[in-house]
Structure 1
Amino acid sequence: MDILDETRPHERHAFAYDNAKTHTARAPNALSARHMVVKPPTSKSKKKNFMCSIETENGVEYVRMRDGRFADGSSQSLYFPEGHQQAGIFKGMRNLIHERIAKGANLPNPDQLKAECKGFKCPPGRTDCCCRRILFTQPDFANQKSMLEEHCEARGYEVIFFPKFHCEVNSIEQCWGFSKRIYRMFPSSSKEEDLARNMNAALDAVPIKSMRK
């Protein structure tokens, strides 16, 4: 992105990635109904208060899950605000759903629903069978983007994910294969400058036609 910002600042750019877990992973604090508790927890410990764990150089740190979005686009905090008797405590799925109903969402009364269906197996086609399923299918939860998408789009770059297929079918593999064939044609050398020059020459030799095939 730095290179493109400098050399082609007026063009539209889109990065294409394999549909791999490492590429589609979400940020640690991304919206997710997985493991959400149905009621506010009684403990204020960061681990039990539905906080998101993040690996840092100093060990594991716990942060709040990011805000959700009501249908009108306004923010919905998942934790009780300052001044509330349970300030800083996770609201629980039922409270979150009630807040959305109050904002006009056509959702069932969560007080009559369980936290999740048995074995995490919701009936096919149902979106109102349990509290977790209701939140899981809400637009802000369902459209949560990957960490890679968020990072690129924050800088004005689009991201495309290839459909799931065998890695050898990926066009990048054809480019690698072409360039490695060219690279092997160069005389053997152990000098770093020769290796770098040969590598760049091999990559530059890949024609656009081969990439597009």
Structure 2
Amino acid sequence: QQDNFRCQLSMLEQLIKDTGHECIFLPKFHCELNPIEMYWGWCKYRYRQIMKANFTAAKKAAVEVLDSCPVEVIRRFINRSYRFMSAYRLGLTGKAAEWAVRKQKQRRQV
């Protein structure tokens, strides 16, 4: 592989960086690294709980659900993604990473 092609930014990356943003590409099939996927799952779960009589009501419910996610929940999604990144960075894979990220609920008593 030629280094000059590997180091060159794509047009999309260049456009994003020119506007002052950071561009991050996440690996495929690793939705645990993407807090947007968690947010989307949260919204779909809430959307399914709402009764919708017609298409207009369904569109209105979709907008309401997307706007109803609390900031604290979004922060939890971001923190969970960060914990997965940290676990992968330490060399954990699969079930070990899931166990490390999971909130530990047991309390030892003497």
TM-score by length of structure 2 reads 0.54
TM-aligned CA distance change 1:158 to 1:209, over 3 Å: closer
Could you tell me which runs of 5 or more consecutive residues in structure 1 were left unpaired when the two chains were aligned: 1-132
In structure 2, what is the equivalent of residue 188 of structure 1?
52
2:36 matches 1:172: yes
Report the 3-state secondary structure (helix = DSSP H, G, I; strand = E; otherwise coil) of the residue aligned with 1:159: coil
C-alpha distance in 1, partners of 2:30/2:53? 31
Give the Å deviation of 1:165: 4.9
Give the Å deviation of 1:199: 0.9
**Preserved contact between residue 43 and residue 66 of structure 2 (Cα < 8 Å):** yes
C-alpha distance in 1, partners of 2:76/2:46? 14
Report the 3-state secondary structure (helix = DSSP H, G, I; strand = E; otherwise coil) of the residue aligned with 2:19: coil
In structure 2, what is the equivalent of residue 197 of structure 1?
60
Give the Å deviation of 1:210: 3.6
Q: Percent identity?
A: 28
Please identify the structure whose Cα radius of gyration is greater: 1
C-alpha distance in 2, partners of 1:137/1:191? 53
Report the 3-state secondary structure (helix = DSSP H, G, I; strand = E; otherwise coil) of the residue aligned with 2:13: helix
**Preserved contact between residue 35 and residue 74 of structure 2 (Cα < 8 Å):** no
Q: Kindly provide the CA deviation profile for residues 49-71 of structure 1, in whole angstroms up to 9, marking residues without a partner as x.
A: xxxxxxxxxxxxxxxxxxxxxxx
Question: What stretches of structure 1 move > 6 A for 4+ residues in a row?
Answer: none
TM-score by length of structure 1 reads 0.31
In structure 2, what is the equivalent of residue 144 of structure 1?
8
Give the Å deviation of 1:159: 0.9
Report the 3-state secondary structure (helix = DSSP H, G, I; strand = E; otherwise coil) of the residue aligned with 1:158: coil
Of Structure 1 and Structure 2, which has the larger fraction of its residues in helix?
Answer: 2
What code does the residue aligned with 2:23 have? V
C-alpha distance in 1, partners of 2:18/2:28? 28
Matched pairs, number: 75
TM-aligned CA distance change 1:200 to 1:154, over 3 Å: same
Give the Å deviation of 1:145: 0.7
Give the Å deviation of 1:178: 0.7
In structure 1, what is the equivalent of residue 77 of structure 2?
211
Could you tell me which runs of 5 or more consecutive residues in structure 2 were left unpaired when the two chains were aligned: 81-110
Give the Å deviation of 1:211: 2.4
What code does the residue aligned with 1:137 have? D
What code does the residue aligned with 2:62 have? M
